[in-house]
Amino acid sequence: MDMLLQVGYLITAILFILGVMRLRSPATAKSGNLVAASGMAVAFIVTLIRYHSFSWLWIGLALVLGAVAGGYAARKVRMTAMPQMVALFNGMGGGAAALVSIGELHSEWIHGVSSAAASITALLTVLIGSISFTGSLLAFSKLQEWVRGRPITFPGQKIVNAVLLVIVLIFGVDMIVSGGIHALPLLALYILLSALTGLLLVLPIGGADMPVVISLLNALTGLAAAATGFLLSNNVLIIAGALVGASGTILTQQMSRAMNRPIHNIVFGAFGQIAPGAAGVEAGGGGVVQSATVDDVATMLAYSRSVVIVPGYGLAVARAQQEVRQLTEKLSERGVTVRFGIHPVAGRMPGHMNVLLAEAEVPYDQLYEMDAINPQFPQTDVVLVIGANDVTNPAARNQPSSPLYGMPILNVDQAKRVVVLKRGMSPGFAGIDNPLYTNPKTSMLFGDAKASLDHVIRALDEV
């Protein structure tokens, strides 16, 4: 029996790794997901064969309800709501890991067989899993706008967090040293405080920082799964947890680099707290903003050879993805090469903008990541910036005084002409002036992105 289990888990681990390997290209990714899913099915089946002495009624009910709820939510969710969906599923995984460890520890206490090593891993999983659970739920509520998305801060927040963490650790050590069924109330308190820590960690984090937070929570759930693997001596949990932990860590690093903010800055310093007045003093510099008409823009686009579209989250807010795709097709018919330059943080989670454009049937071979598109800008006739701001700000490259300095940006100012679609002259999310707008190459097309694009598409017919 155990042999079957081990061989089954080995196959699962191989299928997981092969599945992730296939995620390296959009052409093979869909099959990669299926490969990983079949790995999961193998693990599920051998586990059921090995362990079946449970209440089929209750476990069956949990399986069916979980599958129905998960499948339904996954089918219904809109692509713009994908970040909160992923956060929610992530929280479920973290919660499950915490519960498994709680159950295991409690059952060992009842039988009086708990070892220090087992207690350490169990309590660590409970801590990480609970943080991931409540943190993800709060991130979900913020993205879903059930809770104010702006950073929520109060004086002494860091001290409260630190004190809380110290208390949790003291409780943990106490249970490791003298754990047992008598410590049950302490365990309950430990769980509660761990859950509270998750809430307090995500509370001060603002909406634009969500890509980092979701990646980080993803890594935490992976670690929680791996730690459960140590607790249960289950290798497939260790391997899967390590894979997820690595993935979450890489994404967290990439996102925080793309935002030019070290990770501790995001977790421990609420966004929007950049010293006021530091920005924009030079940038404002008395430049003149030129606004363009729809006809100007249409003519400019129609007579260019290559166009790069730079979409930001503003595009998704205006729900203008379909219009962008129509524009792309119109221009392609005229023989204009159209590509998309996508900044890593153009969305609410890593890669989000690519999904939103793919949903609008923009072919993925037109989607270019930052490093691939940046060398192309000098040969580009027109760049169309739609609903993006800070990620195009040249101050990040050449103004050491700017808070954005050092952030990797899309070098749109190196193109021959730039058109910025923008609602008004308000500064970007970080409240920093953008010298791009006063660049003589730049024309501004003010108004709602969806309406503006619609007008440009119609004007193109008459050029």
Q: Which residues are catalytic?
A: 390
Give the interface segment with other proteins, choosing from 296-304, 351-359, 384-392, 440-448 (CB under 8 A).
351-359
Instruction: Output 19 or 387, the one with its CB closest to other proteins.
Output: 19
SS3 (DSSP) at 331: helix
CA–CA separation, 63 and 42 (whole Å): 16
Give the interface segment with other proteins, choosing from 42-50, 288-296, 303-311, 377-385 (CB under 8 A).
42-50
Give the interface segment with other proteins, choosing from 72-80, 169-177, 285-293, 431-439 (CB under 8 A).
72-80
173 binds other proteins (CB under 8 A): no
For 212, other C-beta atoms within 10 Å of its C-beta total 27
Give the interface segment with other proteins, choosing from 349-357, 377-385, 425-433, 434-442 (CB under 8 A).
349-357
For other proteins, which residue of 90, 260, 321, 411 counts as binding (CB under 8 A)?
90
Tell me what percent of the chain is helix, strand and coil, each rounded to the nearest 5.
Answer: 65, 5, 25
For other proteins, which residue of 355, 374, 423, 429 counts as binding (CB under 8 A)?
355
Query: In the bound complex, what is the minimum distance in angstroms from residue 341's beta carbon to other proteins?
Result: 12
411 binds other proteins (CB under 8 A): no
For 335, other C-beta atoms within 10 Å of its C-beta total 7
Number of residues that bind other proteins (CB under 8 A): 120
Query: In the bound complex, what is the minimum distance in angstroms from residue 218's beta carbon to other proteins?
Result: 6
Instruction: Output 132 or 402, the one with its CB closest to other proteins.
Output: 132
Amino acid sitting at position 77: V
CA–CA separation, 311 and 18 (whole Å): 33
CA–CA separation, 158 and 154 (whole Å): 9
Sheet with 442-446, edge to edge strand ranges? 367-369, 337-342, 306-311, 382-386, 417-422, 442-446
Contact mark string toward other proteins, 189..228, x via CB under 8 A: -------------------------xx--x--xx-xxx-x
For other proteins, which residue of 4, 7, 62, 162 counts as binding (CB under 8 A)?
62
For other proteins, which residue of 4, 7, 65, 278 counts as binding (CB under 8 A)?
65
450 binds other proteins (CB under 8 A): no
Whether 9 and 234 have beta carbons less than 8 Å apart is answered as: yes
CA atoms within 13 A on the CB side of 335: 3
CA–CA separation, 330 and 93 (whole Å): 45
Query: In the bound complex, what is the minimum distance in angstroms from residue 91's beta carbon to other proteins?
Result: 9
410 binds other proteins (CB under 8 A): no
Whether 441 and 414 have beta carbons less than 8 Å apart is answered as: no
CA–CA separation, 146 and 140 (whole Å): 8
Site for other proteins in 118-137 (CB under 8 A): 118, 121
Angle (CA) 79-315-148 rounded to 5° is 70
243 binds other proteins (CB under 8 A): yes
Instruction: Output 1 or 275, the one with its CB closest to other proteins.
Output: 1
Nearest in space to 183 (alpha carbons), one of 104, 109, 101: 109
For other proteins, which residue of 10, 11, 14, 29 counts as binding (CB under 8 A)?
29
403 binds other proteins (CB under 8 A): no
16 binds other proteins (CB under 8 A): yes
- Cα dist from 158 to 155, 163, 268, whole Å: 8, 9, 7
